[in-house]
Amino acid sequence: MKRKDNLARATQDTTVWDLAVIGGGASGLGVALDALSRGLKVLLLEKADFAKGTSSRSTKLVHGGVRYLAQGEVGLVLEALKERGRLLKNAPHLTVNQPFIIPLYTFFDRLKYTVGLKIYDWMAGSLRLGKSRFISREETVKKMPQIRREGLKGGVVYHDGQFDDARLAVIIAKTCDEMGGCLLNYAKVNQLCKDESGLINGLEFRDLPGKKNIKISAKTVVNATGVFADKILQLDNPDAGKMIQPSQGVHLVVDQRFLGGKDALMIPSTSDGRVLFAVPWQGKLVLGTTDTIRKKPKMEPQPLSSEIDFILETAGNYLASAPTRADVLSVFAGLRPLAAPKEGSTKTKEISRSHKVIISDSKLITITGGKWTTFRKMGEDTVDAHFKIHGIPKIPSKSAEKKLHGYTISQENGHLRWYGSDAARIRALQQQNPDWAHPLLEPYPYTGAEVVWAVREEMAQKIEDFLSRRSRVLLLDAKAAMHMAPKVAALMAEELSKDEDWIRKELEDFYKLAKKYLIHQ
C-alpha cells in the first residue's frame, strides 16, 4: 500500500469513481470494502490517518452487545452477533475469543445473568464462541485472583471477541488496496462539486503533505466521517441542521496485575446504569467506559476528571486492590457519533446504537451510528443505497466472505500475531538490517523493522501514526511512547527522506499530544 502510487492514481483527470468515500475509520473502510467486493471503482479519502478518531479508541471488543439485550435491542444484537462471527472467521490473526466473567454478589443476580446470557448464546447460534455457564466462588477467584471476595457468590462466564481496532483499520485498508481501491490518508475534502441540477458529481480534496488541491469526479459521494458528519452535510447544504450528538467514552490503561488471570471482568450495572469492562489487552488492563455528552466533536477529545474518577471508583468496588490515578499508564477518549436526540432528551444510553443511511437531496449518502463489530454490514447497507439512488440493478455484495489481508490460521506467538502472514516479512527486515531487530524500548517488543514496515507498507506519515496506531504504545503506556519517539522519528525521517527540521517538529508535536494521554495527579 503505497501513498505515492495512490496519489498518482487519484490525480488522473479521466477517472470517474463509482464511489468517493470521505472518512477512513470503521464505517468508511466498511463502505470501501463492500463496494470493492461488488467490482466498483472506489476512492477513499481520510483527512488525518486511518482510524485516527473514534475508530482507534474503542473498548477493543467485537461483541453482540450484552447490554443492548437488556434494553430490548434484539435486532441490533442479532446483527452484531452474526457480524462478530464473520469477523473472527475472516480475520483470525486480528481477533481472539475472550472469556468474560460477571461476578455475582446476590442469588437474584445469578438467576438474571445466567438466563440473560443463555439467550445471548442462543441468539449467536452456530456462530457462538463458547457456552456461558455458572462458576463457583472458588473458580471465580481462581480465574480472577484480584476480584473482591467479600459477599462473592460465584460468577457467570460468557464469551465475546476481542481485537486491535487501529490494526484492523490498516488491514482493511490494505485489503481494499489489493482489491483495486485507491486509499489516501492526509487528504482533506474541502468542497463538494455539483452539476447544474444540484446533484453531487465529485469533490475537491487537499493533499496535505503535497499542499495541493485536487478535483475528482464520482458518481456517488459517501459521507462516512463519524462525529464529523455534520461538517460534510454543511458543505453540501450550509443550512443543514445538527444530526450528530457526540458522546464521549473514556478508557484507562493500568497494569494487568490489578485483575490477574486471562479472563475479562464485566461489571453489569454501574451507578449511571451502564456496564464497565476490565479487559486484558496486549499485556495491560483496559478499564472503561463512560458515556458523556459533549457539545463539539474533536480530533483529540479530552477525558473529564469526573470520568476518570468514575472509572477508578467503579473498578475499585470490584477489585481487591483498587487502582489510583498514579497507576494509570495511559488514558484515551473516543467520541461516538450518536443520532442527535429530540429536544429535552439527554440520556445517551437510551439512543439506539443501530446505524442509519441517509440520502440528501443532492444524492450525498451519509452513514452514521453503528460500531466496529457491524462495520461490514454498515458498508453493505450504504453501497445498496448507491444502486438505489441511481436506479441501477444491484450487484450482490461479497464482503461477508472476504478474508482480510494477512489472513492465516497458524497464529504467531507474541505481538507479531497482529500482522498475520506479514510477520514473516517483518522478520526478513530484521535480518536484512540487525539494527532494526532491537526493541525500541525494553521491555516492549516493538522493533525498528516495524517502523520501517509501517512507512513502506502501511502509509505511516507521522510519528503518531506508528506509536498510536501501527503499534499501540501511546494507548498502552504514554511515557514509554515518549521515550521511543526519537528512535521512531529517526527511522521514519530516513524512510521518508526528511531532514532534521522535520524530526524536531514531529517530536514537538508528538510530545504535546502524548501529554494528553497522561493523567495529571
pLDDT mean over 356-384: 96
Indicate if 263 and 325 belong to the same structural domain.
Answer: yes
Residue 450 shares a structural domain with residue 507 = yes
Q: Is the Cβ–Cβ distance between 47 and 188 less than 8 Å?
A: yes
Q: Please determine, for residue 22, whether its predicted confidence score (pLDDT) is greater than 80.
A: yes
Rounded to a whole number, what is the distance in angstroms from the first to the last CA of the chain?
A: 42
At residue 343, the pLDDT reads 53
Kindly state the helix (H) or strand (E) to which residue 332 belongs, with its residue range: strand 330-339
pLDDT surpassing 60 at residue 348: no
Q: Check whether residue 106 and residue 132 sit in a common domain.
A: yes
Average pLDDT, the chain: 94
pLDDT of residue 511: 98
Residue 339: per-residue pLDDT: 79
Domain range enclosing 489: 415-515
Per-residue pLDDT band at 439 (split at 50, 70, 90): very high
Instruction: Give the C-alpha separation, 473 to 2, whole Å.
Output: 24
Confidence of residue 466 (pLDDT cuts 50, 70, 90): very high
Q: What is the pLDDT of residue 349?
A: 55
Residue 319 resides in a domain: yes
Q: Answer yes or no: do 254 and 334 share one domain.
A: yes
Indicate whether 357 and 234 sit together in one domain: yes
Which three cell numbers mark 111? 438467576
Number of domains in the chain: 3
Tell me the pLDDT band of 268, cut-offs 50, 70 and 90: confident
Q: Are residues 260 and 314 in the same domain?
A: yes
Mean pLDDT lowest among 270-284, 285-299, 479-493: 270-284
- What is the per-residue pLDDT across 422-435, written as a single tens digit (0 to 9) for each? 999 999 999 999 99
Same domain, 122 and 50: no
* Same-domain pairing of 33 and 21: yes
Integer Cα distance of 406 and 427 in angstroms: 15
pLDDT at 69: 73
**Claim to verify: residue 419 and residue 450 sit in the same structural domain:** yes
Low-confidence winner among 89-103, 223-237, 341-355, 373-387 (lowest mean pLDDT): 341-355
Q: Is residue 83 part of a domain?
A: no
Q: For the chain, how are helix, strand and coil distributed in percent, rounded to 5? A: 40, 25, 35
Distance CA 235, CA 205 (A): 13
Q: Residue 502 is part of a domain; what is its CATH number? A: 1.10.8.870
Q: Is 69 inside any structural domain?
A: no
Same domain, 331 and 273: yes
pLDDT at 342: 58
Long-range contacts formed by 354-357: CB under 8 A, 24+ apart: 354/73, 354/75, 354/76, 354/79, 355/27, 355/381, 357/381, 357/382, 357/384, 357/385
What pLDDT, on the 0 to 100 scale, is given for residue 77? 87
b (16+ CB within 10 A) / e for 378-401: bbbbbbbbbeeeeeeeeeebebee
Would you say residue 109 has pLDDT above 70?
yes
Distance CA 521, CA 513 (A): 18
126 within domain boundaries: yes
Same domain, 156 and 288: yes
Residues 108 and 185 occupy one common structural domain: no
Which domain CATH number covers 380? 3.50.50.60
> Which of residues 359, 378, 401 is at a domain's end?
401
Does the residue 70 lie in any domain?
A: no
Portion of the chain with pLDDT greater than 70, in percent: 97
Predicted pLDDT of residue 347: 55
Give the β-pairing of 95-104 and 182-184: unpaired
Residues 6+ apart with CB under 8 A from 354: 73, 75, 76, 79, 369, 370
pLDDT band at 72 (very low <50, low <70, confident <90, very high): confident
